Amino acid sequence: MLENTTIAFSKWLTLSKVITSAGFFSTTISVATFLILTVFFVKTSYDNYKRYMIVFSVLGFALAAIEAAVNPIFHSYNYGFVMFSFSHPFGAPSDVSFTLLLVYTGFYAATISFLTAQFFYRYLAIVHPQLVPVFFGGWKLILWILYACYFGLQWALGVTFFARLDEVSTDYMEDEILQYYGKRVEEIAMCAVVAFDKNHELRWFNLMCVLNMTLIMMVQYGLIITFGWRMSLKIREAVSMLSTSMIRLHTQFFKVLVLQILVPTITLFMPVFILMYTPMFDFQIRFPSGVMLSAFSFFPAMDAIIVMYILTDYRNAIKNMFEGFSATVHGAMRVSNVADGSQMSRWTTRS
């Protein structure tokens, strides 16, 4: 029985790892392309905003890279869930793997928090443009990076203090992990949230981890929705007062931001909410929920593709880049043909 169940769940782990690897590969290509275009090819009037897009892309890439390295595994079981890892990068002990799991959770929170900063920037650019330099000019970028880091640290510390294994969570999960993953709890880096004790009373200390994560997500998501809604109203009001080029630019940015709401809602927010609150209802299920969370690794790639596809400046930059590359290749081929012809002519003359 143990062997069969372990084999069955190993298939889910393999699927999760394949999805994560595919996400990291697509993220590497998409983010690298986006950064090259942004730094070297896209010349625009919103150079200050480009710095924030670059930081966001780097954060997203870091999240995907850490996920690929640590390969976090999530498992939901009735009124609890666990996050653990079998990975030991460079032969590191379990304590290092646990620290990397915390770093992974911190980068998740930092990424969604910096997305909020981007929405605030676009909100000010449309509603109060005179305030953009006040909040986002020059060195203020450092403050927004610190803003994202603060929430990343708060998330990671919440997991550290409130989701560490204790006697109750260990007793509840040890047979489950051994049966379905073939590992003993003490052998792996792991943290857990178990909503109820043996008397079915709420374990408030453990649930503080869920409340902490909920607070961060609700603050960031609430601000994102608020700024997006206010921007949509302002763009409709300002159509008659803005130039055609400005209307087109703001409309394109708004489309980007709408998709930047929709995509993280599906790939970042909803999976985590489902994972966090399923234990509260004690649905009597067991599921390797990491498969659902593997979508994290695709988010940075999708975000970069959204920007490059919708913004005209990026489409033109891609077109110019390929035209320049094509012209270089054709030029090299012409030079090669001329050289070959010249060599053939000399050979014929000698003959």
Are the C-beta atoms of 177 and 171 separated by less than 8 Å?
A: no
Side-chain-facing half-sphere of 72: CA atoms under 13 Å:
29
Please say whether the beta carbons of 56 and 118 come within 8 A: yes
Judge contact between 97 and 90, C-beta under 8 A.
Answer: no
Q: For residue 242, what pLDDT is reported?
A: 63
**Alpha helix positions (H), 77-203:** 94-127, 132-136, 140-162, 167-181
What is the Cβ-side half-sphere exposure of residue 191, based on CA atoms within 13 angstroms? 22
Distances (CA, A) of 152 to 110, 147, 182, 262: 5, 9, 32, 22
Side-chain-facing half-sphere of 266: CA atoms under 13 Å: 10
pLDDT along the chain (351 residues), means of 10: 54 81 90 90 79 92 88 88 83 82 93 92 87 93 97 96 92 90 87 90 92 94 89 72 69 75 78 83 78 77 86 83 71 60 55 53
C-beta of residue 75 within 8 angstroms of C-beta of residue 176: yes
What's the rounded Cα separation, in Å, for the pair 304 and 32?
A: 9
Whole-number pLDDT of residue 94: 79
Sign of CA dihedral 26, 32, 38, 42: negative
Q: Are 100 and 85 spatial neighbours (Cβ–Cβ below 8 Å)? A: yes
Closest C-alpha among 47, 35, 56, 257 to residue 145: 56
CB atoms within 10 A of CB 246: 13
Residue 285 is predicted with a pLDDT of 81
Residues in Cβ contact with 35 at an 8 Å cutoff, skipping those fewer than 6 apart = 54, 57, 58
Tokens 């920007």 found at? 307
Q: Which two tokens stand for residue 336?
A: 């090669």
Q: Report the alpha-carbon distance of residue 281 to residue 290 in Å, rounded.
A: 19
Q: Please classify residue 302 by burial: count the beta carbons closer than 10 Å to its beta carbon, then call 0-12 exposed, 13-18 middle and 19+ buried.
A: buried
